[in-house]
């Protein structure tokens, strides 16, 4: 079992990016340009590593390898984006890896691109990349080529060596449990459970009880063996259930208008543990958007637009408008879910305007995270 934190350290120890790994300060999958850049690197790394894993490390400064972190990213449907644009797409996996020196809400992202013996290429264009384009890695550079891709096996031995040096140990597991329980979350009633005498999951959160159901808010859940964060949210609440073979997380999202908030089930994530030392994660979307009066939503939508115009012009907000601003990300999301197609893009475009307002910006990131879960936009 590979310790993903150790794997990232070993990858970064190579200093320069290579033909088997790339590093990014952050991912931007909200725009066509951002999606195109991401897909280009996936295509190139896959074609240049037909017999070994390749990687993208997210949350690292390019120049000096400083580990700065990025937001928790739990889009399990990122594979859909790859499948939508690439012919012969590789299987990919995105994992969130906590590091001790980072704030609780920051992680290092690890994208694993599985070996693929077939040549990947763009089956349709996106941004400035035309259809049928093939990319490969030449050292640390991603570049298009024409014609056949020469199958290169030069990285196989190096990558296997890095992965073998990143294997987990009892010491790493115990250190991880102690750190989680006694230091990072000692004030949040942390718990742990061992599955199949091998896998250790730790979780912590603030307990809330409603109608005989126990919920947790400000939740942090980690699979300690692999040093990956399974779930993190500063706002949503979750329900946790487990037995000797599985661990289930049901995420609820708070939505409402006019200060009336209800919690709606969003997604169920179940980790199945097997006796052979493997595990599988199944995800199922549970969300059914609440419907609201269209006339009221038109009023809220237009009020949000007016608020953004005021922010653009640096006009001072009234106390009522400040309160409305706090709800702007969630109300834009409600509008989008009720047929206001422009609302999502309006929210994305408002990013820089909302950044100075800490709590509003946190709500902004949560809203986009939830929208990604519901339907991955591959346009």
Q: pLDDT digit string (tens) for 66-90?
A: 899 998 887 667 888 999 999 999 9
Question: Does residue 371 register a pLDDT over 80?
Answer: yes
For 213, other C-beta atoms within 10 Å of its C-beta total 9
Asked if 231 and 217 count as a contact pair (C-beta separation under 8 A), the reply is no
Q: Are residues 176 and 324 in the same domain?
A: no
Look at residue 379 and tell me if it is in a domain: no
* Higher pLDDT among residues 213 and 307, named by residue: 307
Domain match, 10 and 148 both = yes
Spatial separation of the C-alpha atoms in residues 312 and 110, rounded to whole Å: 36
**Between residues 214 and 25, the one the model is more confident about:** 25
235 shares its domain with 305: no
Whichever domain contains 9, its CATH number is 3.30.950
What is the arithmetic mean of pLDDT over 111-131? Answer: 95
Residue 378 pLDDT? 42
Question: Average pLDDT, stretch 50-66?
Answer: 91
- Are residues 253 and 306 both part of a single domain? no
Instruction: Tell me, yes or no, whether 240 and 354 share the same domain.
Output: no
Same domain, yes or no: 180 and 260 = yes
pLDDT at 15: 56
Q: Mean pLDDT over residues 294-302, rounded?
A: 94
Helices (H) and strands (E) in the chain, counts: 10, 16
Identify the pLDDT of residue 17.
Answer: 61
Are residue 160 and residue 174 in the same domain, yes or no? no
Per-residue model confidence (pLDDT) at position 74: 75
Shared domain check, 223 and 323: no
Q: How many domains does the chain have?
A: 3
**Among residues of the chain, what percentage have pLDDT more than 70?**
97
pLDDT band at 223 (very low <50, low <70, confident <90, very high): very high
Q: Categorize the per-residue pLDDT at 244 as very low, low, confident or very high, splitting at 50, 70 and 90.
A: very high
- Helix (H), strand (E) at residue 173: helix 170-179
Position 16 scores a pLDDT of: 63
Whether the CA torsion 273, 274, 276, 279 is positive or negative: it is negative
pLDDT value for 101: 87
Whether residue 89 sits in one domain with residue 193:
no
Domain that holds residue 14: 4-164
Q: Write down the residue that tokens 């459970």 correspond to.
A: 193
């Amino acid at each position: 079992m590979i310790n993903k934190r150790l794997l990232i350290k070993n990858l970064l120890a190579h200093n320069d990016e290579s033909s088997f790994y790339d590093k990014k300060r952050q991912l931007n999958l909200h725009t066509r340009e951002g999606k195109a850049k991401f897909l280009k690197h996936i295509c190139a790394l896959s074609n240049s590593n037909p017999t070994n894993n390749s990687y993208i490390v997210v949350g690292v400064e390019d120049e000096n390898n400083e580990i700065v972190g990025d937001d928790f990213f739990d889009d399990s449907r990122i594979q859909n984006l790859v499948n939508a644009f690439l012919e012969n797409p590789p299987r990919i996996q995105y994992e969130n890896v906590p590091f001790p020196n980072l704030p609780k809400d920051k992680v290092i992202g690890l994208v694993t691109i599985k070996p693929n013996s077939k040549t990947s290429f763009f089956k349709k264009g996106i941004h400035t990349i035309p259809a049928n384009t093939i990319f490969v890695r030449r050292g640390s550079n991603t570049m298009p080529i024409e014609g056949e891709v020469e199958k290169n096996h030069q990285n196989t031995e190096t990558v296997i060596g890095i992965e073998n040096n990143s294997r987990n140990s009892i010491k790493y597991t115990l250190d991880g449990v102690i750190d989680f329980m006694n230091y990072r979350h000692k004030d949040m009633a942390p718990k742990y459970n061992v599955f199949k005498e091998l896998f250790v999951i730790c979780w912590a959160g603030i307990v809330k009880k409603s109608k005989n159901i126990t919920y947790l808010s400000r939740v942090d859940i980690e699979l300690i063996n692999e040093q990956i964060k399974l779930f993190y949210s500063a706002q949503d609440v979750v329900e946790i259930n487990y037995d000797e073979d599985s661990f289930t997380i049901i995420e609820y999202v708070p939505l409402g208008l006019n200060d009336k908030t209800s919690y709606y089930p969003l997604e169920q994530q179940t980790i199945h543990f097997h006796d052979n030392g493997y595990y599988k994660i199944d995800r199922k979307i549970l969300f059914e958007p609440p419907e609201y009066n269209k006339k009221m939503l038109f009023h809220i939508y237009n009020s949000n637009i007016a608020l953004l115009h005021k922010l653009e012009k640096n006009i001072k907000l009234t106390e009522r408008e400040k309160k409305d601003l706090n709800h702007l990300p969630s109300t834009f999301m409600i509008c989008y879910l009720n047929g206001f197609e422009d609302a999502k893009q309006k929210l994305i475009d408002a990013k820089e305007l909302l950044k100075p307002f800490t709590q509003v910006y946190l709500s902004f990131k949560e809203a986009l995270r939830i929208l990604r879960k519901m339907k991955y936009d591959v346009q």
